[in-house]
Amino acid sequence: MRFSLLGPLQVLDDDGSTIDLGGRQPRLMIAMLLVADGRSVSVDSLIDVLWGDEPPASAMGTLHSNVSRLRRRLGSQTLVLDDYGYRLRVDPADVDHLRFG
């Protein structure tokens, strides 16, 4: 799987086909997790990015729904939850901004 942040956000499977990440929120989540370079991003930080200062009461549930959909698209071992938040477990060579940064 390859991740591209330089230019339009894209995720490509091993065959080079584009993986549909879904709408605005899942794309923002993936972008934020990619910029974190393998470090965990807290749930609170993700909610702040997705909704700003006034998240709806449903924010946590919606976040978990987005994570579930992304795990189905990317694989459950790619998007993981640890003690600090969510992170992407990917090879830095598969992320363009890390290869060319």
Contact in structure between 46 and 56 (CB atoms under 8 Å): no
Residue ranges of E strands in 8-93: 10-12, 79-81, 86-88
> Domain locations in the chain?
2-100
pTM above 0.85, yes or no: yes
Q: How does pLDDT run across 18-62, given as a tens digit for each residue?
A: 999 999 999 999 999 999 999 999 999 999 999 999 999 999 999
Distances (CA, A) of 23 to 20, 34, 66: 9, 17, 10
Contact in structure between 74 and 19 (CB atoms under 8 Å): yes
Q: Is the pLDDT of residue 100 over 80?
A: no
CATH number of 2-100: 1.10.10.10
- The predicted structure's pLDDT at residue 101: 61
